[in-house]
Homo-oligomer: A and B are copies of this chain.
Amino acid sequence: MDLTPDQEAEIDAQRAQNQPTRRAVAPELEEILYQPIGVLDHGFVRVVDYMGDDAAIVQAARVSYGRGTKSVRNDAGLIGYLMRHRHSTPFEMCEIKYHVKLPVFVARQWIRHRTANVNEYSARYSILDREFYIPAPEHLAAQSESNRQGRGDVLEGDEAAWVLDTLKKDAAQAYDHYETMLNEGDDADPDRQGLARELARMNLPLNVYTQWYWKVDLHNLFHFLALRADPHAQYEIRVFAEAMLDTVKRWVPLAYDAFVENRLNGAALTAGQIDVVKRLLRGEKVDQESSGLSKRVWNELAQVLEL
């Protein structure tokens, strides 16, 4: 993560703010407010605003005049109940806003979550920085042979070296040409007009970094995190989700626990899988063939129950 001194000063100025408010405050989250958490080689995620706390969930569920909370134990119980029974609206009463710097190909996965508000840095209007995601050697993975949408072993030796080198060189060359096409700044050639920014950007590769403000309610954030902190998610977006999980824990610890218990470490079983579990519990021997499940569904069950 590379911040200019100006950016650092701006962040410090934000962190130095300290005003009284009558609103709910989440002290653990205040501690890291505005602070960038580094992700990948040049990316970051930082919380820039939030609304509500655990009590706001309880308050909304009870439509109460005051804080609405009883004891931590009662509140935790209610929040767990709401999550288990898919009463999602109380979780929508909390809102958080992130500033994220991320490679474009990650941004393209991310944006598919539509129930959020986004303001992205405009490459029509402004010039992108010379920053590209280059995987760390230990994340330079081969194509998986079993899963068309996954990764296998880490590349090694000459192959790895060539890939890394090529990613770097191609990005550098693309950016050099981008700058020449733009022909802006002190070194601009007075004999050339310079290509429109909205066109020149098309020469940049998908690992160029962009940034945006992303605002979402807690219910939809949990949905995002359930999909993107999942082992099936691409590593490069998963690390963002993991960094965000930490901010959620600071913000709404009871809801976070309920999320981990119910979603992140929970599992959904199909009718057929439930049937197999019942047979197993009755002491019956069941294997894939006799289970009535397809191989894939059987394996998914075996993984959940460590059969």
Contact = CB atoms under 8 A, between A and B. Distances in A.
B140 A117 contact: no
A195 B274 contact: no
Interface string A137-180: 00011111000111111010001000100110011011001001
Q: Which of A13, A23, A52, A122 has the most CB of B within 10 A?
A: A23
Contacts of A48: 59
Interface residues of A, number: 145
Contact of A205 (B77, B155, B204): B204
A213 B181 CA distance: 33
Interface string A56-96: 10011101111100000000010011001110011011010
B207 A203 contact: yes
Contacts of A95: 51, 95, 215
- Identical copies of this chain, number: 4
A65 B7 contact: yes
Interface string A116-145: 011111111110000001010000111110
Contacts of A51: 49-51, 95, 97
Contacts of A38: none
A125 B155 CA distance: 19
B111 A125 contact: no
Nearest to A123: B105
A41 interface: no
A64 B270 contact: no
B77 A294 contact: yes
A22 interface: yes
A96 B108 CA distance: 24
A281 B302 CA distance: 12
A288 interface: no
Contact of A20 (B18, B24, B59, B207): B18
Contacts of A182: 143
A56 to B, nearest CB: 7
